[in-house]
Amino acid sequence: MHYIETKSLTKSFGDLVAVNDISFSVEKGEIFGFLGPNGAGKSTTMMIFTTLLKPTSGKALIAGFDVMKDAKHVRENIGFVQQETTVDEYLTGRENLLLQSRLNHIPKNEINKRIDEVLELIELSDKQHQAVVTYSGGMRKRLDIAGGLLHHPKVLFLDEPTVGLDIQTRRKIWQYIKKIHIEFDMTI
């Protein structure tokens, strides 16, 4: 099954065509990279995939759901980690994940189990009660990724997950992404 599929996808902002007639598909369980120079429309395409922007024309299906007709179902099946970290630095790591759990409507009886699961996966269990303001950039990015995994999405979108990180931290983030791919059989 195609977990990401586009057909003639186009997005224009007035006279500016940001995404021009792209078509491709990604199978279940694949790690897929969407590459191109600055201004090529990568982030715009990702915003369409995550239902934050509507396409001008064409079609995009995520986990079998149309981003225009089934936006709610698309959002239930995706995790999205943006380029800039979105964690609240004045909360602890665990408090951030608790907030994410509530936003994703995770059943109350599963919240603690899921938070513990992702904290262990990204190796932040020992730092979960510290304010995020004390975290390094790599730790913040790992926490962002954990937030995107809490509701067990079928597809995880990562917008430049290692931008601004040093080479060792970049390597570590990619190791976590590979680990997530294997453990969750997730399309990334």
State pLDDT tens for residues 72-118. Answer: 999 999 999 988 889 999 999 999 999 999 999 999 999 999 999 99
What single string gives the DSSP state of each residue in 21-74?
EEEEEEETT--------TTSSHHHHHHHHTTSS--SEEEEEETTEETTT-HHHH
Residue 1: is its pLDDT beyond 90?
no
Give the pLDDT confidence score for residue 111 in this predicted structure: 97
Residue 64's pLDDT is: 96
Across all residues in the chain, what is the average pLDDT?
93
* Domain 2-76 and domain 93-184 have a common topology: yes
Among 129, 135, 131, CA closest to 169: 135
Where along the chain do its domains lie? 2-76, 93-184
The per-residue pLDDT for range 128-138, each reduced to its tens digit, is 999 999 999 98
The pLDDT score that the predictor gives to residue 54 is 97
d(CA 70, CA 89): 33
> pTM surpassing 0.75?
yes
CATH 3.90.1200.10 fits 2-76, yes or no: no
CATH class of 93-184: alpha beta
Model confidence band, residue 164 (pLDDT cutoffs 50, 70, 90)? confident
pLDDT of amino acid 180 = 86
* Dihedral of alpha carbons 158, 160, 163, 166, sign: positive
Is a pLDDT exceeding 90 seen at residue 172? Answer: no
**CA–CA distance, 78 with 64 (Å, rounded to integer):** 12
Burial 11-25 (b: 16+ CB within 10 A, else e): beeeeeebbeebeee
